[in-house]
Each structure stands twice: as structure tokens, then as C-alpha cells.
Amino acid sequence: MPRSARPVAEIETALLREFLAVGDGCVSGAHLAQVVGLSRVAVWGHLHRLEAEGFAFEPVHSRGYRLTAHPAAPSVALIRALLPAGAPPLVYLDSVDSTNDEAGRQLATGRPAPFVVLAAGQTLGRGRFGRVWHSPAAGNLYLSFAFRPELPPERVSLFTLWMGLNLCELLAAETGAAPQLKWPNDLHFGPRKVAGMLTEARIDADQTRELVFGLGLNVATPDSAWPHDLAARATTLAREAGRTLDLNAVAAKVVACVFASAERFFARLPDTEIAKLWRRHDLLAGKTISVRQGSETHNGTARGIDGDGSLLLRTAAGRTLHLRAGEVTLRTS
Ligand code: BTN
């Protein structure tokens, strides 16, 4: 493609990368023009467009421009610029029914995977058991990662747990607090949920053909954006960190973390690491719980997971159940 026919977002990502590379420093107009293969006037046009999105560029006499502010709202150009070069494509939407559905639709059109769909808000966000995932466009991230993995179907549950554990590590580094994974798909800080994961797979002839890993992460939702009952049970990363967080920076870190973790999982590297991370982040360890599976409920003590990611539940009768799925409730006794 001739350089001038490059999509606007790609040009603006390339420009922002130059600014990010120098931090508080200056970048000359001539350098920017050379990087994107456009005239300085055209570059200035792109900087103006970015200013309308919330970026600010300060001209520095005879030296060029300095980036002095960036938007708080999601900016696809900025997220891409913050990602490592060569990261898989990112599709950004202000609003969508469900990012998992959008990723599935894009896979169905034959779009090459991996890629990620990120939305600022969802109108039909879904959780496990077909529940509604409340998805206001208010400081949260809604992400779905699409893969065409070579993965035996029995490893899909472990994939979700591995993602959750790696995300716990990332969220611990971001907040300085101690996130935990509540088997099988919730990320918590203490009793409050900060994120939910929803993995959906298309399995065919005993192979996982397509895998969509959905993640809803509360970054900085104001309490007023949640229904009353959720406000008491949910938390945000900003609240746990005790400071304002940059939504775009968090988005880029989450995207990089998920792609890197998925790559390691598909290469079959992490089995021993799963056990190690599980001990660090297991919210249920040793707790008295109930696990509902359809019309059945099992009671007992949580004893970690087995090699397939099934929950080990020690019953009062001394049996150890391996539960592949279910809904966990913590009991007080
Ligand atoms: C749960 O806790 O039950 C899982 C919630 C998963 C929500 C995410 S938000 C992004 C993706 N799109 C959806 O419709 N659901 C997942």
C-alpha cells in the first residue's frame, strides 16, 4: 500500500509511538514526517485530529513538539502505540452488543486470528450462565481475544484459569494489592469482584477450532454507574490502587499480558507454573464452600485444582470430588 494510503489510525499510532519513545522530550516535525512518509503539513493535520481526541502537543521553538496530555477515554491509537511492536490487531468499538459476539462474528468471516476486540461499552454484555454483564461506558474495559488454537478441548478450562492467574499477577503489580482468582472465572480483591472472564470455544472433530476469551474489567467505574446491588459487591482497580489509573495504559498492559500468556499456554509451557500461581492467588483455598451444578449442590472444603483445572472439593464424608464446572458460594461455617 502506498504510504499515503495507510489508514489514519495506523499513521497516528506511528506518530504517538515517536512521542512515547522520548517521554517528556521533543520530536521534530521533520522526523515525524519522515517516519510516516508524509509532508509536515499532513503530519500537523494528524496532530490536530489527535488534539480533538484529547491529546495536547506543545510546540517547542525550533525543536518540534512535545506530548503534554493524552485522553482519559479509550484511544485506539494510543493503546496500539503502547503495545509492543508486532502485537496482534486490535479492533476498537465505542459500543457493541457483546465483544465476545463481535469476535465470534469476525472469526466467522475468516478474519485471521489472533486479534482482540475492545469496546468502551456493551449493550448486551454476557456473563456465565447467560447472565447480564452490566457494561456501562464509564471507565471499564470490555475485551474479547480471538484465537484459532491447536488445543484439546479438555484444556479449555485450564486456559481460563491460566489467564486469570496471569491477570492476577498483572493487577497485583498495577495496584500493589492482592487480587485472587475465585474458581473458575472471577477476579476478586477480597470479597469484591473486579473482573469476570467468559471463555467460549467452537469445538469440532475433537479439536478446539476457535476460542474467544472475554474479559470485563472494572478500571475506574464510578459507583453511580452500577445498580445498587452491584455497587456493594464490585470494586475497581483504581479503588484498590488508591489512585487514578490511566485507562489506555491499563488496556495496553492487559492486552499484552493476555496475548503473551496465551502464546505460552498454546506452546504447552506453563503446567508447573499454574500450580505455583494457583497457590499464590487461590481465593477458595481451605474455605468451606457450596458448588451448584444444575440441580445438584455439593458442600465441602476447597482443596485447590487438579491438572485439568477441575476444582477439588473435600466432602464431610472424606471424598474428594473433581468438579469441572459449577457456581461457588462461600459459606460461613
Ligand atoms: C462472568 O463473570 O460471568 C463473566 C463476565 C464476562 C464479561 C465479559 S465483558 C467482555 C466480554 N463480552 C461479553 O459479553 N462478556 C465478556
Binding site membership of 309 for ligand 1 (Cβ less than 6 Å): no
**Which of 72-81, 227-236, 239-248, 315-324 shows the lowest mean pLDDT across its residues?**
227-236
Whether residue 270 has pLDDT greater than 80: no
Q: Quick check: CB of 98 below 6 Å from ligand 1?
A: yes
Q: If you average pLDDT over every residue of the chain, what do you get?
A: 93
Residue in the block written with cell 500500500? 1
What pTM, to 2 d.p., does this model score? 0.94
pLDDT at 183: 97
To test the pocket of ligand 1, the residue of 126, 186, 197 to mutate (highest count of ligand atoms within 8 Å of its CB) is: 126
What mean pLDDT comes out for the span 90-112? 97
Percentage, residues of the chain above pLDDT 90: 83
Distance (Å, whole) CA 88 – CA 14 = 15
Query: What's the average model confidence in pLDDT over 30-37?
Result: 95
Residue 88's pLDDT band (cuts 50, 70, 90)? very high
In order of 207, 291, 302, the CA distances from 40 in angstroms are 52, 63, 63
| Ligand 1 midpoint to CA 14 (Å) | 31
How much is the average pLDDT of 253-280? 92
Q: Write down the pLDDT at residue 113.
A: 98
- Give yes or no for a contact between 239 and 194, defined as CB atoms under 8 angstroms apart: no
Q: Is 73 exposed, middle or buried (0-12, 13-18, 19+ CB in 10 A)?
A: middle
Q: Considering Cα of 254, then 260, then 262, then 264, what sign does the dihedral take?
A: negative
Q: Which residues contact 155 (CB under 8 A, 6 or more apart)?
A: 208, 308
Indicate whether residue 213 lines ligand 1 (CB < 6 A). no
The yes-or-no verdict on residue 4 having pLDDT over 60 is no
Interaxial angle between packed helices 156-175 and 247-266, expressed in degrees from 0 to 180 and rounded to the nearest 10: 140
CA dist., res. 284 & res. 161, Å (int): 13
Q: How far is CA 324 from the centre of its chain?
A: 24
pLDDT tier at 1 (50, 70, 90 boundaries)? Answer: very low
Residue 332 pLDDT exceeds 60: yes
Looking up cell 461455617 gives: 333
Report the atom number in ligand 1 closest to the C-alpha of 142. Answer: 10
Average pLDDT over residues 258-280: 90
Q: pLDDT digits over 127-169, tens only?
A: 998 899 999 998 899 999 999 998 999 999 999 999 999 999 9
E-state strands within 190-276: 192-204, 207-218
Give yes or no for a contact between 163 and 258, defined as CB atoms under 8 angstroms apart: yes
Query: Is the bond into 184 cis (omega within 30 degrees of 0)?
Result: yes
Q: Please indicate whether residue 216, judged by its CB atom, sits closer than 6 Å to ligand 1.
A: yes
Distance CA 178, CA 188 (A): 9
* Contact criterion met (CB below 8 Å) for 3 and 34: no
pLDDT of residue 5: 65
Which of 96, 142, 258 has the most ligand 1 atoms within 8 A of CB, as the residue to mutate? 142
- Kindly report the length of the chain: 333
Segments in 141-298 forming alpha helices (H): 156-175, 228-231, 237-241, 247-266, 271-281
In this prediction, residue 82 carries a pLDDT of 97
The verdict on the CB of residue 13 being under 6 Å from ligand 1 is: no
